[in-house]
Structure 1
Amino acid sequence: MKLQFHGFCFHAKDGIQLRRPTRGLEDLNKRQHHAGRHGRLAVSALAAAEATGRTGVVHVADVAVVAAAADRTDLASILLDRYRAARAELGANAEPVARAVCAWLEEGRDVTAAAGRLFVHPNTVRNRIQRFTEVTGIDASDTFAGVNAWWLCQTWLAPA
């Protein structure tokens, strides 16, 4: 993926080098300390956009929650510690439950859209969300609890 930085935005196209050549995320990380605030925001926006599969012009404000979550590994560790027993209780079902919760939240709490994205029946999504709520006590339909649920599930799904 080649990138071009525009203030707080960047433009990404798979396999196509844009007019002003750039060197990608590794080079941005190396030069981040020189660019100051804008550089830190660009690196955060790039990582967040890549994590969410976005391409094209992406403003850091459009991926602010994802960027903040990625930058706060200390808080992610606290979430993991607090819900370690819940994950253990889910066992082998932790991954499909986490994927269902993330899909449901990312699809605007639309069960049908989440089911289509996961190639499962809508009732499967409902059941997995219900199971998540039972074991964690997090009601993902609440706005702020939903952010915590999404962040927790993303952390569960992240490679170790």
Structure 2
Amino acid sequence: MSAKKNDGRRLVAENRKARHEYFVTDDYEAGLELKGTEVKSLRRGQANIAESYASFEDDGSFCLVNAYIPEYQDAGSFFQHEPRRKRRLLLHKSELAKLFQAVTRKGMTIVPLELYFNARGRAKLKIALAEGKKLHDKRETAAKRDWNRQKQRILRDKG
């Protein structure tokens, strides 16, 4: 399965559940610290970020946790990486400070939205500062979506 193309960038993985589970407020583009076999595996379009999250570690680094990038099969066993290892995210200090403050004081969460290669061929992760939705919020969102679909059908049929 090859990666999808999206405005000058190649989309590798997408977390489609995130917008359903969270209210997304701010989003940031972060670089990833990857090994060679991870990059080759990503170029094949193989990754899953659905169950992953970003967190601040004890040593002060900012990491992506539980993202699945499978082993690159063409490389030997010596060069392989662990599929679910922690990967360091690269952001500016000011962005890290904003995220740390929002997570510690406001109780917000940092969720990954998309994993892609930008136009220059660098692997990037779009992360978002988000607040969890309650069950009634999810139902309300679904009801609004259904009503908008119904409205479009009515307008299309009448128009």
TM-score (norm 2): 0.24
Name the one with the larger helix percent. 1
Bigger relative contact order, structure 1 or 2, given CA contacts below 8 A and separation 6+? 2
Question: In terms of Rg, which structure is larger?
Answer: 2
Query: Which structure dedicates a bigger proportion of its chain to strand?
Result: 2
